[in-house]
A and B are shown apart, each in its own frame.
Chain A
Amino acid sequence: MSTQIHTGLLHREPPIFELSSPGRTGHALPPSEPLDDEGLPAAFLRQGAPLLPELSEVEVVRHFVRLSQWNHCIETGMYPLGSCTMKYNPKINDAMSALAGFTATHPLQEDEHLQGSLELMFQLEGLLCRVSGFHSVTLQPSAGANGEFTGLALIKKAIDVRGEGARRRKVLIPDTAHGTNPASVVLNGFEPVSIVTGPEGVLLPEAVRPHLDDELAAIMVTNPNTLGIFESHLKEIAELVHGAGGYVYMDGANFNAIMGKVRPADLGVDTMHFNLHKTFSTPHGGGGPGAGPVGCTAELAPYLPVPRVLRTNEGSYRLITELPNTIGRVHPYFGNFAILVRAFTYMLENGGAGLSRVTEMAVLNANYVRALLKDTLAVSVDVDTLHEVVFTDRDLKKETHVTTMDVAKRLLDFGFHPPTVYFPLIVPGAFMVEPTETESRVELENFVETVKAIVEEARTDPEKVTSAPHRTGVGRLDETTAARKRILRWTPAKP
């Protein structure tokens, strides 16, 4: 038994395996029976039980409740993680996704026994089309990166159908892009080519022109980009890319900045993924599950993954799996269905008007933080930004040797989750704030005052900042040791 150190309500909780003692269980199954092993070769049977903890329900619940208390979450406080859109997750969404009509349904029931779920998917596709301007949407992809893979696969298929698959393999990616973009490109057998963002933080047609040849497959652009800046030349760039026979993929991670204001399809975007766990308020779950539906033009629609949901003339819904040009399946069954229900609920509750308002307040909040902080931390590029703003530690570091990482860790002492740090890569010591629309003016001001106080502290007592955090349950974690020692699972102590 390891020593437990409790600090007030913060319990130091050992790995669950160390709480175990033989003979306990937290499960209530019908009485044990001997295994009916007729026809089961002995060689196929497990020798020795897996190492699982033996605990009653109360002990298991207490363990995980204690662990939960070591987490910061949206419902604890502000979580301004740039590019992640950590907005409040409405409770009604969870309740609707937990309806037994949905959850107690086997995914291979006949279409006529799944009419409610099929209609929901059909309607959700329609709402996503409406807000983006696309012709069609698939709900299959599990997350943003899976959506990127899918959207690029549509493009690849279109190029293959044209008979240009062997030649057109280049995908242009601005240097501000998420790492998932180049990784998704490679998973489609394409070659990523990095292009440079202009001095004002946006992509200029000049950066694209040298690549307009018959090897160009696509350009992959996040809009607004990861500096929070609207890519105002995208429409012109899209025309250039189309003129050269290529396609335009838009990473929709930042869609919360433009809902109701811009429809990506109107910019010449051919395909885009939505992050339902960002824009459409589904919970992030400590890292997932999300959902990454993909929208596309009429030209790319025949290549969408199966199944597709169709409404018949009689008003019923059915699944189509036999489509001659589909890229195939990207997910079993229906994607992360429970997430789809949540996003659908959110979109219905907001309506088109509400979604526009969401965007307006998200942009207002980010600009308010920017206005209040711009004299304290340098803004990376001095042009208009939308839903997020990226600061740099350039000046602060020069003056005090305190870095973005130090400020981030010190924020933890005051109950804030820090912004995204050191991304995008083109900004030195990036400090990327995305407050989202669900933070109040008071909370934003508290955040700003805290950052200001930390910057002041960097001048008067830098040691206090560089050694932060001081008030969290644990101090700074040693990542080097973790990578070197590679302890990736619990093992019993050697007797």
Chain B
Amino acid sequence: MRYLPHSPQDIQHMLQTIGVPDVEHLFRSIPRDQRTERPDDSPGLPECQLRRYLEGLAARNKNFCVSLASAGAPFHAVPKAVETIVGRSEFQTAYTPYQPEVSQGTLQAVFEFQTIVSELMGLDVSNASLYDGASAVGEALLLALRVHKGKRPVVWVSEGLHPHAKEVVRTMLHAFGDVTIQWLPLDPGTGATVLPGAVTADVAAVAVGYPNFLGVIEDIAAVSAAARSAGALSIVSVPDPANLGVLASPGALGADIAVGEGMGLAGTAGMGGPGLGLMAVRDEYVKQMPGRIVGQTVESRGGVGYVLTLATREQHIRREKATSNICSNQALVALAFTVHLSLLGPSGLRDLATLSRNRAMALRRGLLGIPGVRPLVTGPVMNEFALVFPRDAAGLRAHLADNGIFFGVPLARFCPERPEWREAILLAATETACPDDIAHTILLVKDFYREGK
């Protein structure tokens, strides 16, 4: 086995030093009757066969030439340099920076990540990452419940969050117990979240998507003001922070906590992950934050250095009183995100968000020009939107798939019982879609309905 550096002579020498006759002897502390009776002795595969098998599996997935879907997994054009940096052994094969004197690379990179996330979100402090955007919403809600010390047992959560995020939130809060989730419906006309009246005094937090799952840009300022007036926290979930190159930051609109999913900009959205959970908060909530946080400090020779800090929030110190159980996070994905945003800079991020928006609008306009195609909802959108097709949306998507185009995600998949979603498709475009791709797509859709397939 190529990863085991033991020669037979080494093994003999080591056994003699230990004072046991054979390797089996090392396992004598395991009672005989607890040992596996017939251990699996199947052989392994040499690298050439491994490759052939895994390449074969990978080839059985369909790769589309053009993707016009986001639905929480946006594809951005991540420069090769990001992969190169992230692939460096020093970043990839280190662990949590427990020994800061030999981990300054990771620590400083996290400090830069925290700066970038707090800048994008317009809030004071970011942590070093959470698992994904969905559990980040759950963590934000738990944070809000802690802030109110259990005196506010209700959370208001928008129906417009990503369906998977809603399910993760439900799992997390149900497990935690003693919390009631009031789901806020979307207005059938605009697609924006409707507050069922003034926020009540038992509400710990109000959480909405920005934009929401239908692509609609929620009025964060209004939601945040409503939450604040009742002493509740405003939580804003950003499915693709690339949009913050154009859209106002959650913090600027009054959010107390912003969370998000960074895998699109990190380049790991393929098959949906690894994800990258983002979280930024107002300074007053930093001691309630889940996860690792890096801080700047001084070192014994007088220089500046970085360490994991405020660890008294965390499980390895506080155990059952910790703010979360999270230990391993998504550090390497956070690094990819940091490198990409450092390459983009402020103008690159704005250009990327603008191009995504413009491509999406070109697609949307073109499709709306086809008789019978209409928007599902009327609220303002960024680069994602839902359209209702005159008939056979499934057939249309299959036709486009045959032409190498991943034509969005059918909304019926998430809620088959809603008749108004039966022929609706959630579409998106990013800077990766060329004008030609979009023109070609529109033409194919036109043909599909003209020919009455």
Q: Mark B434-452, 1 if CB is under 8 A from A, else 0.
A: 0000000000000000000
A429 at the interface (CB under 8 A from B): no
Q: Is the CB of A24 within 8 A of B272?
A: no
Nearest Cβ distance between residue B24 and chain A, in whole angstroms? 8
Q: Is the CB of B14 within 8 A of A338?
A: no
**B93 contact from A73, A107, A356, A443, Cβ within 8 A:** A73
Chain A residues with Cβ below 8 Å from B50 are: 92, 96, 345, 348-349
A277 to B330, CA, bound (A): 12
Chain B residues with Cβ below 8 Å from A378 are: none
Nearest Cβ distance between residue A43 and chain B, in whole angstroms? 7
Within 8 A of B (CB), among A140-156: 142-146, 148-149, 152-153, 156
A487 to B118, CA, bound (A): 13
B247 at the interface (CB under 8 A from A): yes
A108 to B165, CA, bound (A): 14
Q: Is the CB of A287 within 8 A of B298?
A: no
Given contacts A332-B164, A354-B44, A440-B10, contact A143 B326 (CB under 8 A): yes
B418 at the interface (CB under 8 A from A): no
Q: Is the CB of B17 within 8 A of A57?
A: no
Given contacts A92-B50, A131-B40, A441-B10, contact A482 B118 (CB under 8 A): no
Most buried by A among B61, B75, B112: B61
A198 at the interface (CB under 8 A from B): no
Q: Is the CB of B91 within 8 A of A107?
A: no
Which residue of A is nearest B113, CB measured? A489
Given contacts A383-B29, A474-B301, A488-B114, contact A88 B108 (CB under 8 A): no
Q: Mark B284-324, 1 if CB is under 8 A from A, else 0.
A: 00100000111111111101011101101011111110101
Q: Is the CB of A43 within 8 A of B248?
A: yes
Which residue of B is nearest A317, CB measured? B60
A302 at the interface (CB under 8 A from B): no
Chain B residues with Cβ below 8 Å from A344 are: 54
Which residue of B is nearest A103, CB measured? B270
Given contacts A76-B90, A441-B6, contact A50 B244 (CB under 8 A): yes
Q: Mark B81-125, 1 if CB is under 8 A from A, else 0.
A: 100110111111111111111111110110110111011100011
**B168 contact from A57, A114, A332, A361, Cβ within 8 A:** A332
Q: Is the CB of A412 within 8 A of B131?
A: no
Nearest Cβ distance between residue B385 and chain A, in whole angstroms? 10
Chain A residues with Cβ below 8 Å from B328 are: 142-145, 277, 284, 287-290
**A61 contact from B84, B296, B322, Cβ within 8 A:** B84
B5 at the interface (CB under 8 A from A): yes
Q: Is the CB of B58 within 8 A of A99?
A: yes
Q: Is the CB of B34 within 8 A of A267?
A: yes
Q: Is the CB of A260 within 8 A of B40?
A: yes
Q: Is the CB of A352 within 8 A of B42?
A: yes
A94 at the interface (CB under 8 A from B): yes
Q: Is the CB of A92 within 8 A of B47?
A: yes
A101 to B349, CA, bound (A): 28
B274 at the interface (CB under 8 A from A): yes
Q: Is the CB of B44 within 8 A of A33?
A: no
Within 8 A of A (CB), among B310-364: 310, 312, 314-320, 322, 324-333, 335, 339, 341-352, 354-355, 357-358, 361-362
Chain B residues with Cβ below 8 Å from A153 are: 171, 175
A67 to B216, CA, bound (A): 40
A156 to B92, CA, bound (A): 36
Which residue of B is nearest A177, CB measured? B319
Q: Is the CB of A361 within 8 A of B6?
A: yes
Within 8 A of B (CB), among A99-133: 99-109, 113-117, 119-120, 130-131, 133
Q: Mark A415-436, 1 if CB is under 8 A from B, else 0.
A: 0011010010000000000000
**B319 contact from A24, A60, A84, A179, Cβ within 8 A:** A179
Chain A interface residue count, Cβ-Cβ cutoff 8 angstroms: 202
Q: Is the CB of A262 within 8 A of B36?
A: yes
**B167 contact from A113, A289, A328, A486, Cβ within 8 A:** A328
Q: Is the CB of B92 within 8 A of A89?
A: yes
Q: Is the CB of B164 within 8 A of A473?
A: no
Nearest Cβ distance between residue B350 and chain A, in whole angstroms? 7
Q: Is the CB of B14 within 8 A of A368?
A: yes
Q: Is the CB of A81 within 8 A of B95?
A: yes
Q: Mark A151-166, 1 if CB is under 8 A from B, else 0.
A: 0110010000000000
Q: Is the CB of A49 within 8 A of B17?
A: no
A452 at the interface (CB under 8 A from B): no
Chain B residues with Cβ below 8 Å from A368 are: 14, 17-18
Chain B residues with Cβ below 8 Å from A120 are: 54, 57
Nearest Cβ distance between residue A365 and chain B, in whole angstroms? 8
Given contacts A179-B315, A364-B23, A441-B13, contact A15 B72 (CB under 8 A): no
Q: At the interface with chain A, which of B132-140, B180-188, B197-205, B225-233?
A: B132-140
Which residue of A is nearest B6, CB measured? A361
Within 8 A of B (CB), among A52-71: 52-55, 57, 60-61, 63-65, 67-71
B391 at the interface (CB under 8 A from A): no
Chain A residues with Cβ below 8 Å from B296 are: 482, 485, 487-488
A168 to B125, CA, bound (A): 39
Q: Mark A347-385, 1 if CB is under 8 A from B, else 0.
A: 011111111111011011101101110000000000111
Q: Is the CB of A102 within 8 A of B58?
A: yes
Most buried by B among A188, A232, A358, A441: A441
Q: Is the CB of B63 within 8 A of A100?
A: yes
Chain A residues with Cβ below 8 Å from B31 are: 232, 235
Given contacts A57-B81, A331-B168, A409-B101, contact A363 B14 (CB under 8 A): no
**A32 contact from B177, B261, B354, Cβ within 8 A:** B354
Q: Is the CB of B406 within 8 A of A106?
A: yes
Which residue of A is nearest B46, CB measured? A349
A348 to B73, CA, bound (A): 29
Chain B residues with Cβ below 8 Å from A51 are: 115, 119, 346
Q: Is the CB of A261 within 8 A of B35?
A: yes
A356 to B436, CA, bound (A): 55
**B131 contact from A65, A142, A467, A475, Cβ within 8 A:** A142
Chain B residues with Cβ below 8 Å from A450 are: none
B246 at the interface (CB under 8 A from A): yes
Given contacts A142-B131, A476-B299, A477-B101, contact A15 B344 (CB under 8 A): no
Q: Is the CB of A16 within 8 A of B342?
A: yes
A246 to B216, CA, bound (A): 47
Which residue of B is nearest A101, CB measured? B58
**B217 contact from A44, A47, A260, A261, Cβ within 8 A:** A44
Within 8 A of B (CB), among A180-215: 180, 182-189, 192
A434 to B295, CA, bound (A): 29
Which residue of B is nearest A305, CB measured? B171
**B94 contact from A41, A73, A131, A187, Cβ within 8 A:** A73
Nearest Cβ distance between residue B232 and chain A, in whole angstroms? 22
A479 at the interface (CB under 8 A from B): yes
Nearest Cβ distance between residue B198 and chain A, in whole angstroms? 22
Chain B residues with Cβ below 8 Å from A87 are: 3
**A358 contact from B4, B36, B174, B343, Cβ within 8 A:** B4
Chain B residues with Cβ below 8 Å from A99 are: 54-55, 58
Chain B residues with Cβ below 8 Å from A266 are: 34, 36
Chain B residues with Cβ below 8 Å from A30 are: 355, 431
Closest 8 CB pairs of A and B: A101-B58, A333-B272, A352-B40, A285-B332, A107-B272, A475-B300, A189-B177, A287-B331
> Besides the contacts A101-B60, A258-B30, what 19 more A-B pairs have beta carbons closer than 8 Å?
A39-B381, A44-B247, A49-B349, A61-B85, A68-B85, A72-B99, A84-B95, A101-B57, A104-B63, A142-B274, A286-B331, A288-B274, A329-B164, A332-B168, A349-B45, A350-B44, A357-B1, A438-B5, A474-B303
Question: What are 27 A-B pairs at a CB distance below 8 A?
Answer: A26-B342, A27-B345, A30-B355, A64-B342, A68-B85, A73-B91, A88-B3, A117-B271, A143-B131, A182-B319, A187-B175, A261-B27, A285-B332, A288-B333, A289-B331, A289-B333, A332-B165, A337-B272, A337-B274, A341-B54, A353-B44, A354-B44, A440-B5, A474-B301, A477-B306, A478-B307, A489-B118
